[in-house]
Amino acid sequence: MTTTAPTSPAKRLILKVDGMTCGHCEATVTGGIKQIPGVLSADASAAAGQVTIAYEGSPRVDEYRKAVTALGYKPVGELDSSSISRREERRAALELKLLAWSVLWTIPVLVLHYGGFMHETWALWTAFACATILQPTSAITYYRAAIASLRRRMSNMDVLVSIGIAAGYLYATLTAFFPATFDPHSSMEFFEAATLLICFIRFGKWIEARSRSNAASAMDALLSLTPTRARKLNADGSVQEVSIDEVKPGDKLVVLPGDSFPVDGFVKAGESSANEALISGESMPVPKSYGDRVIAGSTNGAGKLTITVAGVGANTAIAKIVQLVEAAQASRAPAQRMADRISNVFVPLVVLIAVGSGVYWGGFTDVAFSRVLTHVIGVLVIACPCALGIAVPAAIMIGSGSSLRKGILVKDGGALEKLSKLDRIVFDKTGTLTSGAPKLSAAFVADDVDEREALATLLRLASDSTHPLSRAAIEHVNGRGIAPANIEGRTEETSGMGTILRSDARVYIFGSAALLEREGVKIDALAAKTDAERSKGASISYLAHDGRVLGAFAFRDPMRPKAKELVARIHAAGIRTAMISGDHEAAARAIAAEAGVNDVIAQAKPEDKIAAIKRWQAEGESVGMVGDGVNDAPALAQADVSIAIGGGSDVASETGSIVLMSGGVGRLGTAIDISRRVRSGIKVNLFASLIYNAVGIPLAAGLGTLISPGLVIPAGFAALAMVLSDASVALGSLHLASRLRKL
């Protein structure tokens, strides 16, 4: 599957790849892709089963695929965009078939070995036949991957496993054919080892495939909301039901009441409403009429609509969100870089230990060659770089999928880990801690002015303005049932200060104290009446006519309902808070005090926000910034973790490594809880994989015999131990998923 990631200025493409199992596989694919002209960077992820390619010019998809194939891996063809987990389900089904096939031919060998037939000639040849059948069927994929890796002078888990399987099988075959030269009594033991190796490794692959399928379920749940069929409106007026694959931008579709929208588009005819909770998180239906945008996957209300198609399949808002999550799952978290450094030396080190073990037991002891080979194969197959390689990505995949279910879009896997380690979270005020939609909280008119006439004049001036305070004034006056004053004239809006209406020789002004003073209007008469509102953080605007103040109006941007609770929750987590705002000191401090924020910086310009964040970072703090994703873009870029408040169909384009798609800033507390549980899951997974290898490899090398002479791990059961390491990471990830569901 190839998809273009929409968030970065650089062109990016995600190529799905089957067969990667560990850090060395990732390095192999990454190195091969980087050699292709035009590729700026490549980042492969075994856990996500994909490689993210940054390129310039046009994408050379065919060359990318050929390079991956040449390396011994399988680029996956185009998928049905309605199911992101279908590929993982098919992979799990294939692994289950291969596992069943392996078990089928392993059971006879076990029965012969432990049933007392191990010295019978017919039993030996039966075991040989069973082990031989598995070589070109179940084991061949490891051999191919190992050969491809060695061709590039690299080694990975496939190399270790292939050497172990081949060594056991070949030695057993030699002892069967040349009993006079080799120990014939060990033939059955190594046929058993060869078949068990294949069997247990296939079992591990099946567990891994099932884990990936489960991790993809959150994205699949989103994409499954999009219908696979659509009603196309033809030029002659007839309606034809077609596959979504036949729909293209510009086509007209008919959407009936209760149906889900199959595409992104714009309403061409009809009136209805849509439930867009899947993206906005708001359960209230959104009215839809001519020109309004509709989102694929959302549900049409009671009206019939005709829409013009704007985006289909991978070009819909919902698909872009899934693409971002996939990119996040493939990105490198800080803990993963440590695991990568260990993995880079892991395989060569294991080979050295295996060789050293063989040299010691073969050259300095009198044990049989079969015992020497048992130790060598045991070291090779018990070592598990896979568990180490998937320990971090598995937790990130679970965390990002769980976040998506809760309305939190994680666009960078590393940010999910960093969020758990923040020392300070900085909030913008407007639209973040506050609603961003100010309300007219109090009105004061001069003693000799009729209030309704003043409000009618206010409505006339506000109607020609797009400023948020003007919209708040319109909403308030309309609620009083007052019509706008009939004043003809030309209006001019001064940036951030207010509106002036000039009608013949008369001048009307609605704006800030600074605007009135600039126009020579004194506000002393009403200034005292507004002091109480100003002290509460209200913004004051004035209405004047021909140099005389008619009224003063207090506007307050109400705090978001869950903002105070969120700040308390953040403090309880041991994180300091700060608020940076461009508003005046009184307004900023009033909101900060109401919310309980630790530090306040008011009247801040964009460069002041950046400077403050840099200062805290210089003091050793890890800083997160929460903003609206547009006006705060420079400060968001400077922060260690950038968190944007999103919503609607454009959520995928929001600035920020984490986007709170629904629930507003209140979702931040949930995001922090998820990040901390993911970090805990990463630690558990890494510990399980590291401690397993630290204990298992020495035992397989024979150090256990120093404790007890009989403590020798058979080669076949060394493979089982390796599988248990993979299983421990898988179980750790399942436990993490269970913990996240409880949030």
- pLDDT for the residue numbered 629: 52
Q: Could you tell me the pTM of the whole model? A: 0.71
Q: Which of 160, 165, 163 is nearest to 191 (CA)?
A: 165
* C-beta separation of 573 from 420 below 8 A: no
Q: Which amino acid appears at position 631 of this protein?
A: N
* 168 lies in some domain: yes
Six token digits for residue 74: 């399988």
Q: How confident is the model at residue 204 (pLDDT cuts 50, 70, 90)?
A: confident
> Do both 186 and 333 map to the same domain?
yes
> Do both 343 and 472 map to the same domain?
no
Domain boundary among 69, 87, 105: 87
Q: How confident is the model at residue 160 (pLDDT cuts 50, 70, 90)?
A: confident
Q: Which of 513, 470, 506, 462 is nearest to 488 (CA)?
A: 506
Q: How confident is the model at residue 2 (pLDDT cuts 50, 70, 90)?
A: very low
Q: How confident is the model at residue 9 (pLDDT cuts 50, 70, 90)?
A: very low
> Do both 191 and 70 map to the same domain?
no
Q: Give tens-digit pLDDT for 623-643.
A: 999 987 556 778 888 999 999
**Ramachandran sector of residue 599 (left: φ over 0; alpha: ψ -120 to 50; beta: rest):** beta
Q: How far, in Å, CA of 628 to CA of 650, rounded?
A: 13
* 652 lies in some domain: no
Q: How far is CA 378 from CA 56, 147, 163, 305, 486, in A?
A: 47, 21, 11, 66, 93
Q: Check whether 554 has a pLDDT greater than 70.
A: yes
Q: How far, in Å, CA of 139 to CA of 130, rounded?
A: 13
Torsion sign, CA atoms 504, 510, 514, 515 = negative
Q: How far, in Å, CA of 92 to CA of 204, rounded?
A: 11
> Do both 305 and 242 map to the same domain?
yes
- pLDDT for the residue numbered 604: 84
- b/e code 178-194 from CB counts within 10 Å (16+ = b): eeeebeeebbbbbbbbb
Six token digits for residue 15: 């190529």
Q: Which of 196, 161, 174 is nearest to 21 (CA)?
A: 161
Domain boundary among 262, 295, 315: 315
> Do both 336 and 369 map to the same domain?
yes
Looking at residue 248, the DSSP 8-state letter turns out to be -
Output the furthest CA–CA distance in the chain (Å, rounded): 122
> Do both 199 and 336 map to the same domain?
yes
Q: How far is CA 163 from CA 138, 176, 266, in A?
A: 15, 20, 60
Q: How far is CA 235 from CA 245, 261, 291, 447, in A?
A: 19, 21, 20, 66
Q: Give tens-digit pLDDT for 650-661.
A: 554 456 789 888
> Do both 110 and 163 map to the same domain?
yes
* 424 lies in some domain: no
Q: How confident is the model at residue 211 (pLDDT cuts 50, 70, 90)?
A: low
The residue among 132 and 493 whose pLDDT is bigger is: 132
The CATH code of the domain that includes 33 is 3.30.70.100
Q: Give tens-digit pLDDT for 248-287.
A: 999 999 999 989 999 999 999 999 998 876 665 555 678 8
* C-beta separation of 138 from 169 below 8 A: no
Torsion sign, CA atoms 113, 115, 119, 121 = negative
- pLDDT for the residue numbered 413: 80
Matching residue, tokens 């992104």: 264
- pLDDT for the residue numbered 129: 95
Q: Which of 306, 268, 267 is nearest to 288 (CA)?
A: 267
- pLDDT for the residue numbered 184: 65
Q: How far, in Å, CA of 462 to CA of 501, rounded?
A: 10
Let me know the angle formed at the C-alpha of 578 by 575 and 581, rounded to the nearest 5 degrees.
155
Query: Residue 352 phi/psi, 5° resolution?
Result: -60, -40
* C-beta separation of 268 from 306 below 8 A: yes
Q: How far, in Å, CA of 176 to CA of 128, rounded?
A: 8
Burial bucket for residue 247 (CB in 10 Å: 0-12, 13-18, 19+): buried
- pLDDT for the residue numbered 672: 95
Q: Which of 388, 263, 399 is nearest to 325 (CA)?
A: 399
3-class secondary structure, 723: helix
Six token digits for residue 349: 């080190």
* 638 lies in some domain: no
> Do both 329 and 239 map to the same domain?
no
Per annotation, catalytic residue among 412, 428, 583, 673: 428
Range with lowest mean pLDDT among 58-67, 472-481, 719-728: 719-728
Domains: count for the chain: 4
Q: How far, in Å, CA of 433 to CA of 445, rounded?
A: 31
- pLDDT for the residue numbered 414: 84
> Do both 467 and 546 map to the same domain?
yes
Q: Give tens-digit pLDDT for 30-83.
A: 888 999 999 988 888 776 678 888 888 888 888 999 988 888 788 875 444 444
> Do both 444 and 496 map to the same domain?
yes
Q: Check whether 726 has a pLDDT greater than 60.
A: yes
Q: How far, in Å, CA of 197 to CA of 713, rounded?
A: 13
Query: What is the arithmetic mean of pLDDT over 701-721?
Result: 80
Residue-averaged pLDDT of the chain: 83
- pLDDT for the residue numbered 564: 92
Range with lowest mean pLDDT among 473-482, 605-614, 687-696: 687-696
Looking at residue 260, the DSSP 8-state letter turns out to be B
* 289 lies in some domain: yes
* 348 lies in some domain: yes
The CATH code of the domain that includes 505 is 3.40.1110.10
- pLDDT for the residue numbered 14: 79
Six token digits for residue 228: 């696979």
Q: Check whether 665 has a pLDDT greater than 60.
A: yes
Q: Check whether 545 has a pLDDT greater than 80.
A: yes
Looking at residue 484, the DSSP 8-state letter turns out to be P
Q: Check whether 192 has a pLDDT greater than 80.
A: yes
The CATH code of the domain that includes 261 is 2.70.150.10
Q: Check whether 668 has a pLDDT greater than 60.
A: yes
Q: Give tens-digit pLDDT for 564-597.
A: 999 999 999 999 999 998 777 888 888 899 999 9
> Do both 8 and 142 map to the same domain?
no
Task: Kindly report the number of other CB atoms within 10 A of residue 570's CB atom.
Answer: 23
- pLDDT for the residue numbered 197: 82
Domain boundary among 50, 66, 87: 87
* 158 lies in some domain: yes
- pLDDT for the residue numbered 212: 66
Q: Identify the helix (H) or strand (E) that includes residue 559.
A: none
Q: How far, in Å, CA of 371 to CA of 78, rounded?
A: 49
* 594 lies in some domain: no
Matching residue, tokens 């790849």: 17
> Do both 232 and 208 map to the same domain?
no
The residue among 734 and 640 whose pLDDT is bigger is: 640
Q: How confident is the model at residue 332 (pLDDT cuts 50, 70, 90)?
A: low
User: Catalytic annotation on 650?
Assistant: no
Expressed as residue numbers, the domain containing 243 is 227-315
